[in-house]
Amino acid sequence: MSAEPGPWRVDDFVRAQTSLAENTLAAYGTDVRLFADWVSRLRIDDPSGVTRTVVRRYVAALSTRDYARRSIARKAASLRRYFAWAVAEGLVDADPTAGLQVKGGDGRLPRVLDRRELDHLLDGPAATDEPEWRRRRDDAVLEILYGAGVRVSELTSLQLDQLHVDDGYLTVWGKGSKERRVPLGEPAAAALRAWLAIRSEAAPPEAGGSVFVNERGKPLTPRDARRILDRRALSPTHPHALRHTFATHLLDGGADLRAVQELLGHADVATTQRYTHVSRERLRAAYMETHPRA
């Protein structure tokens, strides 16, 4: 594919971002093009004309246009990534986004499932008309999401050669194509063995080595995983809530923060640290509900 005409070379930038989801790449391209269009009104036609002041004016302008904080933070992150690439490519001499920090999100704590919700998800009664293969597959999917704390994308991309069930672990490929080993508890291992015993009934040869398949015999997708939660959960639940619950329960049980960071595959311990706030809230609630002097 030829290089994109023009000084911004957005297509080249997007192609250089390897191991990222397609929707993330599309967002990067859209965000940089939106910025390039905005600065063109300031008679800046290439990235070398962008200064720190221009970048900050842009972020301020986004705020006045009623963008959500999360959206503004994402656009700022896109620009940081773009200008880091532009420096490496020699398009600019210095990074105008250096030191730019935009807080995203609304400060909400991750949702943690309570015991009743978990029990229903993991041990709830099967629907009378549910095929056995689907019941076993769903059991394994849910046990791994909670028991190993993997991302839903890591689960749906699992291949048979990544399973080490008898040794009690999985290898998964996380963000940035980083491989890590995650422990597999006995309930998850048992559910996985039960599924693998009949996997061939649902997985045609063209499914290759994909561990999980959908009703059409194709590799399971994140959307398919969400449908599994929709069928089994007591209330609307996102698959990522099981990962939040995994991390919080480890910290509640006294696990070391760095160990939880490794298990989750977080590059920065600050990302893991937000779960400590969840645990503190849970401990405070337990104290208020149970201590006679609370």
- Residues annotated catalytic, as ranges: 151, 175, 240, 243, 266, 275
| Sequence letter at residue 237 | T
d(C-alpha 212, C-alpha 128), whole Å? 22
**C-alpha angle 89-95-96 in degrees, rounded to nearest 5:** 135
The beta-carbon contacts of 86-93 under 8 Å, at least 24 apart in sequence, are: 86/13, 86/47, 89/9, 89/12, 91/7, 91/9, 91/46, 91/47, 91/48, 92/47, 92/48, 92/50, 93/48
Side-by-side strand order, sheet with 169-173: 163-164, 169-173, 179-183
Q: Please name the residues in contact with 152: beta carbons below 8 A apart, sequence gap of 6 or more.
A: 145, 222, 225, 226, 239, 240
